Structure 1
Amino acid sequence: MKPATAAKKLGILLSAAPAEFQEGEVSRSELNALLTDPPEWLAELKRNGPHPRPVVAARLGVSIAGLARGGLDADLTTEEIKQMLVEMPAWLVTERATQAAVRDENARVKFERAAKAEARAKRERSAR
């Protein structure tokens, strides 16, 4: 696979990876080896960054769109993420609340669908 695809699957920034990783192809077995037994450079990148936007969003507890709405388009290090969580800018508070509301709504819909499916199954059993 292309290095960009492998970096995405590993959750790292391709530009922060070593040149030999950026320039070569990565086989499925090599990717699995990197996932199960990461070399020091990969462990360091995952630990300290810089992190790609999906990882930054997850660590901040917001969506990628929330990062964009907050005007945050740079890749952040772990220290910068921690600092942002300490400072809690207004946009981050708002986006975290939005993300929590979305999670709650998704849970409500999932519960409602499960209840409807159970009621449907119960009706079908009693109709037999």
Structure 2
Amino acid sequence: MKPETAAKKLGIYLPATPTEFQEGELTRDDFLELQANPPEWLSELRRTGPHPRSEVARKLGVSNSGLARAGVDDVLTTAEIKALLEEMPEWLVAERATHAAVREDAARSAEKKAEKARKAEKAERSAR
């Protein structure tokens, strides 16, 4: 597995990892070992950052697009994320509301689709 892929799956920022991680290939067993027994550098990266955009977005409760709209182009540390959550600037409040609305809409849509499938299955069973 390429280091980029492993970093993405581990939720860490690749440039902040040790050189040997950045330059090496990982086997599936190596990757599973990292997940099961993370070395200190991995635990520290997960705890304090810097975090990649997707992790920053998740921790802030917004989308990656929301970060882009707000002009947050850089990676952030855990301390910077906590500071933003304490400040709650206007853009963050608005993006969190937008993200929540999108998630609710997706959940409603999934429920409608599931209900439609249940009805179709019920109709099929009764037709037999």
Using structure 1 for the length normalisation, give the TM-score: 0.96
Shift of 1:114: 1.2
Q: Which residue type is aligned with residue 77 of structure 1? A: T
Partners of 1:71 and 1:101 in 2: CA distance: 21
Partner of residue 17, structure 2 = 17
Partners of 1:70 and 1:90 in 2: CA distance: 10
Shift of 1:122: 1.5
Q: Which residue type is aligned with residue 35 of structure 1? A: Q
Shift of 1:62: 0.5
Q: Which residue type is aligned with residue 104 of structure 1? A: E
Name the Cα RMSD after superposition: 0.9
Partners of 1:43 and 1:70 in 2: CA distance: 29
Partners of 1:112 and 1:55 in 2: CA distance: 30
Shift of 1:118: 1.2
Shift of 1:93: 0.7
Partner of residue 2, structure 1 = 2
What is the CA deviation profile of residues 11-43 of structure 1, one whole-angstrom value per residue up to 9, with x for unaligned ones? 111110111111211111111100110000000
Partners of 2:23 and 2:126 in 1: CA distance: 63
Aligned partner of residue 110 in structure 2, secondary structure: helix
Partner of residue 48, structure 1 = 48
Aligned residues: 128
Partners of 1:114 and 1:30 in 2: CA distance: 39
Shift of 1:121: 1.4
Q: Which residue type is aligned with residue 28 of structure 1? A: R
> Could you list the runs of 4 or more consecutive aligned residues of structure 1 that deviate by over 3 angstroms after TM superposition?
none
Aligned partner of residue 34 in structure 1, secondary structure: helix
